[in-house]
Structure 1
Amino acid sequence: MKPGVLILCTGNSCRSHMAEGILQASAGDLVEVHSAGSKPAGYVHPKAIQVLKEIGIDISDHTSKDMNTFLDRQIATVITVCGNADKACPVFLGQLNRYHWGFDDPAHAEGGEEKVLAEFRRVRDEIRKVIDAYAAGLREGASWKETSVPVHKV
């Protein structure tokens, strides 16, 4: 059974879904990835779907979920991607790790279509750098476990 990772933000409409999609693409073979919100918006932002599709990741089937639906699930790691979710974050069953990596909310971007899309892309790229580094650490840890030799006391 793969360890569970839950990515939280307030609305679960942009940042957490982008992070979930990127982590699923980078390390979905090592972890079971979910996202949720402390106050779910009830939809996934179409521009979040669009900018991830641009990098070959499809999150069009994602839905906005409440973090409380995960309280009885085995979640080894919680990652919050906004300050409000970090403050509202409960402790989950089996939780070993908690990280807070705050990102700007692209849903608040103002201006024309291209300016708003540019903001979604900027935030996507920031999330991708952090999540890819995290996934690389997971891969390194997994390969270390596979090659380590148990030490026996004599």
Structure 2
Amino acid sequence: MKYKVAFVCVHNSCRSQMAEGWAKKLGGDIFEVYSAGTEKYPEVKPLAVQVMEEVGVDMSEHKPKLISDIPEVLDILITMGCNVTCPFVPNKHKEDWGLVDPSGGSIDDFRKTRDVIKRKVEELIERVKNGELLLN
């Protein structure tokens, strides 16, 4: 069984896209992965795509999506720390990762964010595999 996980932020143009990329690469065996934003945005940030490509995660075809584009019911909902209230999406587990948006910063800011997200995705995978989240 795969758990439906969604990563949500405001524009779905950077942090949530990176989290989607990592979760698909590292947790594709246990997750059905989505990401979305609460507001429309024209593109995924080019530096986000570039820094993920540096570590072998291809996001070149990723496009920003809205909450309405993902499943109506999720197992896990992760917000990225956007200081906005997300529309209610039914879920079994929700957490906020409180990540600073690197947009407007240097490529090193994007790399730091990428690496923090990777670690958080790895931790999430371990917690799911160890049965630490009440998902059933």
Question: What TM-score does the superposition give when structure 2 sets the normalisation length?
Answer: 0.88
Q: How many residues align?
A: 132
Q: Corresponding residue for 1:108?
A: 104
| Alpha-carbon distance in 1 for matches of 2:119, 2:13 | 20
Hey, which of these two has a bigger chunk of strand by percent? 2
Matches within 5 A, 1:45-84: 45-70=45-70, 73-84=72-83
Shift, 1:102, TM fit: 1.3
Residue in 1 that maps onto 2:86: 89
Larger Cα-atom Rg: 1
Q: Secondary structure at the match of 1:34?
A: strand
Q: How far, CA to CA, are the matches of 1:60 and 1:79 in structure 2?
A: 23
Q: Is the 8 A contact 1:42 1:65 kept in 2?
A: no
1:80-119 alpha-carbon deviations (Å, 9 max, x no partner): 00233xx3212224x111110011111121xxxxxx1111
Residue 37 of structure 1: how far off its partner (Å): 0.4
1:11–1:39 Cα contact (<8 Å) kept: yes
Contact between 1:18 and 1:127, CA under 8 Å: does it hold in 2? Answer: yes
CA drift at 1:60: 1.1
TM-score, length-normalised on structure 1? 0.79
Distance in 2 of aligned mates of 1:121 and 1:7: 18
2:5 is matched with which residue?
5
1 CA distance for matches of 2:129 and 2:92?
A: 18
Distance 1:68 1:19 in 2: 19
Deviation at 1:140, TM superposition (A): 2.7
Structure 1 residue runs of 4+, over 6 Å off? Answer: none
Structure 1: segments with no counterpart, 5+ residues: 110-115, 143-154
Task: Give the gaps of 5 or more residues in structure 2.
Answer: none
Q: CA deviation at 1:40?
A: 2.8
1:20-31 correspondence to structure 2 within 5 Å: 20-31=20-31
Q: Is the 8 A contact 1:36 1:64 kept in 2?
A: yes
Question: Percent same amino acid at aligned positions?
Answer: 35
Structure-2 separation of matches of 1:19 and 1:129: 10
